[in-house]
Every structure is written in structure tokens, then in C-alpha cells.
Chains A and B, each alone.
Chain A
Amino acid sequence: MAAIAIDLAPAARRLGGMVLIAFLGAALVFFVMRAGHGDPALSALGDQATPEAIAAFRKLWGLDAPLIVQFWNWLSGALTGNFGKSMTVAGGVPIATLVGSRLPNTLFIGLYAMAIAVVISLVAGTVSALRHGRMIDSVATGLAVLGISMPDFWLSYVLVYALALGAGIFPSYGFISPAESLSGAFYSGFLPALAVAAPMAAAFTRMLRTALIETLYRDHVRVARSLGYSGAFIFLHYVFRNALIPYVTVIGLQVRYLLGGTVVVERIFGIPGIGALMVDAAFGRDYGLVQACALTFLVCVLIVNFLVDSLCAALNPRAT
């Protein structure tokens, strides 16, 4: 109960830090995007645009103002929740609407992939630790190496060929948004989630296996055995629980990469997610949209970081 009565100053400091990082990140994306080559007018007006048309376009979107003014305009809008409208990717659609409709799909696939990876790794890690050195361990470890080394786009196509076109179990393309049908989303999102999950599952499995094996030979486990407790009891209470701390830490580290990791898979399976949106926006030089997507990613990662740190602290009070 002592943890509840904590001093609020660190939390406030932390929150302040997050806001500062979000601001710096937004500023960085803003100036880097504009420092590069390329022109939104080219995307929107085509290569035949006259200089007058380009000038009119720049004026319309406020691109003719000095950079610092443009940044201030963006920032003051963003602070009130107004992210402006899409310039070149979805002409005239409010950016908040676009991001709002896309984010749930990406979060869904990310969490779905995480769930799959956790289930696979719990089973595979436990089995290979308990049977370590035997055939089943070699198979699981081999698969884990394979999982880590396979690029996600390649695995995506392998899954499509095997489970969609071959076995005909899953759709080969397309995604039903969870907002439309939750079960449909689980069904149509399975292959993409599995493609995202595979390398994570492999990493988690290896982590869990190592942690479990290490714990199996600790003194307290030997003592428990000598006292005559059953194997299952020892495993659950003395081995597994101790191995859980490094395991959760590794999961936490991976969550941070999840959102970015879905970009390629979103494109292959046609999932209208925020990663694919950001790629389109970057190619089209839809500055405001890139900005909003990047900020969304940034805020998600900051929140996840915060949650993971809190969770780890809760699991292992000694660390704090």
C-alpha cells in the first residue's frame, strides 16, 4: 500500500518530460520534412503546374510563410486539436479524421500480434526449457532462430500462399475493421498479426527458455526439490514466477517497435492503418499529415514506455 502514497513530483516531472519530448519530436519532424527535397505542389498539381498555380497552391496552404511562422501556425492549431486538412493524400479531409479512423486498426493488429507472440512463446519457451537438450527443444529453438531471421514482408507472402491461397482458410487480402465487426477483424487480421508476431514470438521464446533454465538450477529450486514438492508446484511457484521478470521486460521493449513494425505488413495486406498512411503522406509531401502521424506514434511510444516502466516496477519492487 505504500506505493500508493507516493510523492507526486516524479510523476509530474515524468509527464512534463513526455510533453517536452513530444514537442521536440514534432519540431524535428516539421523541420526535417521541409529541409528535404520535394514539393507538395508537385504531388497535388502534377508536373505540368504553372509557376502561378504553384504560387497559388503555396498561398492556399500557407506554405509561403516563413518556416517559423508555419511551425507556430501548426503548433497553435495542434494544441487546440486542429491538425488541419490533408493536402495531397486525401485532398481536403481533416487530418484528425484520417488519423482517428486509422489508429484503431494499427493498434488492433499490434495488440493482436502481441497476444499471439505471448501465447506462442509461453508454450514454446516452457516446453523447450523443460525438455532442454532434447529433440523438441532443438526444434523450438531452430524455429525461433528462423522466426528472428525472416523478414516480415517475406513471411507475409509465405503465409498468404500457404494459409490463404493454399489451404484457403484465411482471406488473401483485405481487412475488416474492428469498428465494423470484431470477429471479422480477428479473422481477417490473423495472417498480418501472425506475420508481425513471428519475430517477437521467437525473441520471447528464447528469452523465456533461457530464464527458465537458469532458474531451474538455482539453489532455492534445489532446496524445494529436496523438500519433496511436486515438480509442477515447483515449476509454477519457484521457477516460472522468477523467470517472468526478464520476460515481461523483453515484451515491454518489443512493444515500442510494434507500431512501426506494422507498416510493411499494413501495405501487403491492405490494412488501413496509420503506418501505411504515414508512408503515403511522406511520399506525397503531405506535411501536416506526416506531422500528425509522427506525433501519434511518438505519443503512443511514450505512453507504452511509461506503462512498461510502471509494470516492471510493480513486478520487481527491488528495482525501484
Chain B
Amino acid sequence: MSIKGTDFTRREVLKLAAGAATAGFALPWTVGGAFAQPAAGTLRAGIAGFNVINILDPAKATLIPEFYVIYGAFNALLKFNAKMELVPDLAESFKVLNSTTLEFKLRRGVKFQDGSDFSADDVKFTIERVADEKTAAPNRSKVAAIQSIQIADPLTVRIVTKAPFAPLLNYLTNTRTGTQIVSRTSLNAMGEAAFGRKPVGTGPFIIKDWKSGESIELTAFPGAFSGAPKVGRVLCPLIAEESSGMTAILGNQVDLTSTAPFADIGSLEKRPEVKVLKQAGLNTRYIAVNNKKGPFSDVHFRRAVSMAFDREVLVKAVLFGEGVAIPGVLPPALWADPKPVWGEYVTFNPEKARAELAKSAFRAGTEATLLVWGSNWWRRMGEIVAGQANQVLGTKITLQATDFNTAYSRAKAGDYDAMVMGWLGFVDPDEYLGEIVGSKGFRNVHFYGSQKMDDLLERGRTEIDPVKRKAVYAEAERLVAEDLPVLPCFCSNIHNLLRPNVKGFVQLPYSNFADQFGTIELG
């Protein structure tokens, strides 16, 4: 190869490099894709903090961002209004016939997005499908109490449970319950796999296009019973980082976000180009502990650690004030939440904590591992709890950072001491208490079992009278604060960011999203 040749190539390379770097500015760019300036009537609704949506079949969905989208493509029999009261959705009305039978009168003239008619048969099909073991529905337990579903006429359906089952109405709402009504004909025609990518519901938006890990495009369903949507098209970019969701809306790349970072709420509230919606959320955050082995199997040790950290500090340092400390598992925003009773074991008190440790079989110097995962604030939560406990008690709790799948798999296998943990979007107290601290609860990865607790939870499930039910859960919460199967920490606020021209989005405490798209107007 000659020197001349090299020379020539080098210059070419330089020219190309310089050209490439400047081309973006020199050429007029044509914009397209999810981030272009949208056509009029396109809502850009960023799903922030998540970028995996795996399936959009309500019966099979598990992740909150999956439900964010499902809410807008489907309806359930019932839904919640802004005051979190049950109101009709696909059911026009419902009656309690007796303690085990509910009768739903269905809305007349409802069409699915494929044009077929909605009827009682679809309700029966949907719920039986969730209950069927073969479906492997994550929400199967929510409908397992149902004995039969009877079609009285095409617009009347009766749901009979084996025993009185108080949570049932909440489980038939358009929330994370998986009971959103699917079209029997579409599902059978398309097959399950295809339906999971392009499902057919009765909601105001049709899932038109889905680029895995990138974005979902929805198009208006003018024939929706809830009325034709005011925007014709919705683009939902999947934004992996919450902070990127914030910069996206500040830079006018999206009109609405599903979440916002706790640390930035204060400064965002001062900015005119974005509106912050917030309220106490339906979620619960705690330190899950292994009640079967290791130091946390000793109730005195659990109590000592619980008294050794200050929940108010967590709210300030982890949530930047965007939440409240809780003495139990239930979020204050839930209807059944009692006035929180701050028992002594859930109140920060270093002296009592040390005295409690003295009663335990474990002493200062005891080693334990606290698993942390997820975004920064989960890690900070673990750091503060471990740091304060070590300072007050002289224990040696160390953090181990991992991802959720690893942490939860280890917890399920009993291979852990403690981990930061939490759930969001549940609407019934049994979803919190029953599943987290009930001996058969599938979120009970703590190996905690108490006959007294199980009896209370059973009463909570079968007690139809809401006032009496509330009293039962108040008692269960007191037992949580005594036994400390988990160490309660806090509930966080939920946030949506909106551009000022977005009108008609109503935020609900269970972290809703696309269910409001039908009423959104872009001013």
C-alpha cells in the first residue's frame, strides 16, 4: 500500500467524519416516529419508569405498565370514580341477591372494537377463563371463590360464590384485577398468542401498533359505549428512566407521564410548563423479613429493628416528603384503612429498641443481609433502615444490591434475611393483608403464619358489611404491628405530569392511566 494511498484515505476519512458531524445541522430534517411533533389530535402519553410490556391480555398481564395500557382498551363490569366509589362500567347496575349471589344488569348496545356485540356470554367467558387453571392467570386467586356464573338473559348475569366473598365487587373493576371483559369470539378467532399482542376490548382505544420496548400506539374507537374519544391517536413511548420522563415532558416531547421522580416533585411544582397531579397512592412499602430462619425469626429482634429506625426520616430522605409513614400494611388512601394506630413496636424509640434486643436471642454484632433492588430510592430506603438499626442496636446489617427477579426468587425460596419490598395498585384490603401476611397469601414470602391472623383475614373476606369489615382489618393491622411479620415503612404519593394544555385527566389512587384517555382534550 503506497503512502499516497494512505494520505488520500485519511483525508477522505476526515472529510466523512466532519460531514457526518455537521450533517444533522446542515440538512433540513424531516421528523417522524414517536417523537415527532404530532399531528393535531395526537396525545403523547409517556409511560415513565418502565420499558417492558410483555403481554396485553388482561388475564395474563402482571406488570403495572401493561395495565396502564389495558385500562384504556378494556372495560370491566365496574370501575372507580374520583372518590374511589364503585360505579357502573359495563354493568349498568348490580344487586346483592343474597350473601353469595350478585346480579349484574349489563349495558345495552355495547360493541367490542371488532364490531361484535358484547353480552353476558363474554362476561361468563372472561371470568371463567381467569379462574381456569389452564389459563395460568396471575389473578386467578381473585376469582377462585366463584362457584358458578349464570346467564339469566343476554344482559343479565349472576355470579355465585361458594361462600360470602366481600372483595368480589372490587375484583370486578377496571384495575389490576385481570377481569377486564374480553370478546369470546375475537379471542377464539385470533388464538391466545395473537390476542396477547393485539387484544380486543370495549374500551375507547384500540391497540394499533406495538414496538416492544419502544412504544405503543393507540387509535380511537369511535364506537366505544363511553363515547368517541376526543383525541384520535395516542402514542405511549416506554421511557425506561423516570427522570427521562421528566426531561421529556419539560422539553415538550410528551404531553403526559405516568409517574415522576420523588426527588424532583418540589422543583417541578414551581415550573409553569408542567402541571403536577399528586395524591396519596394505593401502595405499601415495607421491609420483608424471613420469619423462619436467621435473626428475624425472633419476634424480639424484629421488634427491636422496627423500633430502631425512624419512618419519618424515610419519608423525608427517600420520598422527599412525597408520602406518609405507616404502622401497618394498609395504605391510608384505602377505604378500609383505620385511623393508623402507632403501637409501640412501630414507633421509633432507640432506648426501647435496645431493651427489646436484650430480650432477643440475638445481640449487638448480629449479622444479617438486607437485599435491595430497583431504582435509587429503594436502595436509599435499605441504607437508612440498615444504617439506623446498626447505629441504635450495634447490629451488622449489610446491604446486598441485586435485581427484583433475583431478590424475589431468593425470598420465595427462603434464601434471605430481609429485603426492601412493596406493591402498588391494589384496591381491596385483602389484596394487601390477605396476600402479604395471610399464611396462604402468595405474597407472603416471609414464612409467617398465625392462626389468629388467618381467622381475622377469613372474617374480612366473608364480612359483607363494610363497617364491620373495616373493624376486622383494623384488628389485623394491630396484629401486624405486634407480630411484625414485615416491618412497615411508608406509602408513597402517586404523580402524573401534564403539559398545561392537557385537560380531562383524572388521577386515581391506584395508579391509573389509559382509562382516562377517552376524556382527554388537548387545548
Does A43 count as interface, using CB distance less than 8 angstroms?
yes
How many angstroms from the CA of A244 to the CA of B14 in the assembled complex?
A: 12
Q: Are B33 and A184 in contact (CB under 8 A)?
A: yes
Nearest-neighbor residue (CB-CB) of A317 within chain B: B1
Does A93 count as interface, using CB distance less than 8 angstroms?
yes
Nearest-neighbor residue (CB-CB) of B441 within chain A: A48
Interface residues of B, count at CB 8 A: 69
Interface set of A (CB-CB < 8 Å, partner B): 3, 36-39, 42-50, 52-53, 56-57, 86, 88-93, 98, 101, 111-112, 115-116, 118-119, 122, 157, 160-161, 164-165, 168, 171-177, 180-181, 183-184, 186-190, 241, 244, 267-270, 272, 276-277, 280, 282-285, 314-315, 317
How many angstroms from the CA of A177 to the CA of B248 in the assembled complex?
A: 17
| Minimum CB–CB distance for B415 against chain A, Å | 8
Partner of B35, one of A50, A188, A314, A315: A188
Cβ–Cβ < 8 Å partners of A164 in chain B: 247, 251
Partner of B62, one of A46, A122, A174: A46
Nearest-neighbor residue (CB-CB) of A160 within chain B: B247
Q: Are B51 and A280 in contact (CB under 8 A)?
A: yes
| Minimum CB–CB distance for A167 against chain B, Å | 11
| Minimum CB–CB distance for A192 against chain B, Å | 11
Q: Are A280 and B27 in contact (CB under 8 A)?
A: no
Q: Are A267 and B241 in contact (CB under 8 A)?
A: yes
How many angstroms from the CA of A315 to the CA of B13 in the assembled complex?
A: 14
Q: Are B140 and A173 in contact (CB under 8 A)?
A: no
How many angstroms from the CA of A49 to the CA of B250 in the assembled complex?
A: 40
Q: B439-481: which have CB < 8 Å to A? A: 442-443
Q: Are B212 and A115 in contact (CB under 8 A)?
A: no
Does B169 count as interface, using CB distance less than 8 angstroms?
no
Cβ–Cβ < 8 Å partners of A280 in chain B: 51-52, 213, 240
Nearest-neighbor residue (CB-CB) of A87 within chain B: B54
Q: Are A53 and B24 in contact (CB under 8 A)?
A: no
Q: Are A171 and B29 in contact (CB under 8 A)?
A: no
Q: Are B24 and A190 in contact (CB under 8 A)?
A: yes
Q: Are A122 and B14 in contact (CB under 8 A)?
A: yes
Does B39 count as interface, using CB distance less than 8 angstroms?
no
| Minimum CB–CB distance for A182 against chain B, Å | 8
Q: Are B62 and A45 in contact (CB under 8 A)?
A: yes
Cβ–Cβ < 8 Å partners of B360 in chain A: none
17 inter-chain pairs at a CB distance below 8 angstroms, sorted by A residue, are A3-B1, A37-B409, A48-B62, A48-B141, A53-B133, A92-B193, A98-B213, A165-B250, A175-B35, A183-B24, A183-B28, A184-B29, A184-B32, A187-B25, A267-B51, A272-B211, A272-B214
Cβ–Cβ < 8 Å partners of B248 in chain A: 172-174, 270
Shortest Cβ-Cβ A-B pairs, 6 listed: A172-B251, A174-B35, A90-B212, A46-B62, A186-B24, A53-B136
Does B20 count as interface, using CB distance less than 8 angstroms?
yes
Q: B241-264: which have CB < 8 Å to A? A: 241, 243-245, 247-248, 250-254
Does B408 count as interface, using CB distance less than 8 angstroms?
yes
Residue among B14, B31, B247, B412 having the largest count of chain A Cβ atoms under 10 Å = B247
Partner of B54, one of A90, A161, A244: A90
Does B188 count as interface, using CB distance less than 8 angstroms?
no
Cβ–Cβ < 8 Å partners of A88 in chain B: 52, 54
Does B149 count as interface, using CB distance less than 8 angstroms?
no
Contact mask for chain B residues 401-412; partner A; CB cutoff 8 A; 1 contact, 0 none: 011111011101
How many angstroms from the CA of A208 to the CA of B514 in the assembled complex?
A: 54
Q: Are B442 and A186 in contact (CB under 8 A)?
A: no
Cβ–Cβ < 8 Å partners of A122 in chain B: 14
How many angstroms from the CA of A184 to the CA of B21 in the assembled complex?
A: 13
With A244-B10, A314-B1 as given contacts, are A268 and B244 in contact (CB-CB < 8 Å)? Answer: yes
How many angstroms from the CA of A53 to the CA of B14 in the assembled complex?
A: 59
How many angstroms from the CA of A269 to the CA of B248 in the assembled complex?
A: 9
| Minimum CB–CB distance for B365 against chain A, Å | 28
Cβ–Cβ < 8 Å partners of A92 in chain B: 193, 196-197
With A48-B442, A280-B51 as given contacts, are A86 and B212 in contact (CB-CB < 8 Å)? Answer: yes
Task: List 5 additional A-B contacts (Cβ < 8 Å) besides A44-B55, A48-B141, A186-B29.
Answer: A42-B412, A45-B138, A174-B34, A270-B248, A280-B51
Cβ–Cβ < 8 Å partners of A314 in chain B: 1, 6
Cβ–Cβ < 8 Å partners of A43 in chain B: 54, 405
Nearest-neighbor residue (CB-CB) of A123 within chain B: B18
Cβ–Cβ < 8 Å partners of B18 in chain A: 119
Q: B1-41: which have CB < 8 Å to A? A: 1, 6-7, 10, 14, 16-18, 20-21, 23-25, 27-36
Q: Are A183 and B244 in contact (CB under 8 A)?
A: no
| Minimum CB–CB distance for B366 against chain A, Å | 24
| Minimum CB–CB distance for A166 against chain B, Å | 10
Does B237 count as interface, using CB distance less than 8 angstroms?
yes
How many angstroms from the CA of A131 to the CA of B4 in the assembled complex?
A: 29
How many angstroms from the CA of A282 to the CA of B214 in the assembled complex?
A: 17
How many angstroms from the CA of A127 to the CA of B283 in the assembled complex?
A: 58
Cβ–Cβ < 8 Å partners of A181 in chain B: 29-33
Cβ–Cβ < 8 Å partners of A3 in chain B: 1
Does B511 count as interface, using CB distance less than 8 angstroms?
no
Cβ–Cβ < 8 Å partners of B251 in chain A: 160, 164-165, 168, 171-173
| Minimum CB–CB distance for A152 against chain B, Å | 13
How many angstroms from the CA of A101 to the CA of B210 in the assembled complex?
A: 13
Does B139 count as interface, using CB distance less than 8 angstroms?
yes
Q: Are B24 and A115 in contact (CB under 8 A)?
A: no
| Minimum CB–CB distance for A187 against chain B, Å | 5
Partner of B33, one of A36, A177, A315: A177
Q: Are B20 and A115 in contact (CB under 8 A)?
A: yes
Does B91 count as interface, using CB distance less than 8 angstroms?
no
Cβ–Cβ < 8 Å partners of A91 in chain B: 54-55, 196-197
Cβ–Cβ < 8 Å partners of A168 in chain B: 251
With A44-B62, A172-B247, A181-B30 as given contacts, are A267 and B240 in contact (CB-CB < 8 Å)? Answer: yes
| Minimum CB–CB distance for B517 against chain A, Å | 20
Contact mask for chain B residues 396-431; partner A; CB cutoff 8 A; 1 contact, 0 none: 000000111110111010000000000000000000
Does B239 count as interface, using CB distance less than 8 angstroms?
yes
Cβ–Cβ < 8 Å partners of B402 in chain A: 37
Q: B111-138: which have CB < 8 Å to A? A: 133-134, 136, 138
Cβ–Cβ < 8 Å partners of A111 in chain B: 20
| Minimum CB–CB distance for B68 against chain A, Å | 16
Q: B189-223: which have CB < 8 Å to A? A: 193, 196-197, 211-214
Residue among A90, A157, A188, A283 having the largest count of chain B Cβ atoms under 10 Å = A90
Partner of A38, one of B214, B253, B405: B405
How many angstroms from the CA of A53 to the CA of B59 in the assembled complex?
A: 13
Q: Are B6 and A176 in contact (CB under 8 A)?
A: no
Cβ–Cβ < 8 Å partners of B250 in chain A: 165, 172
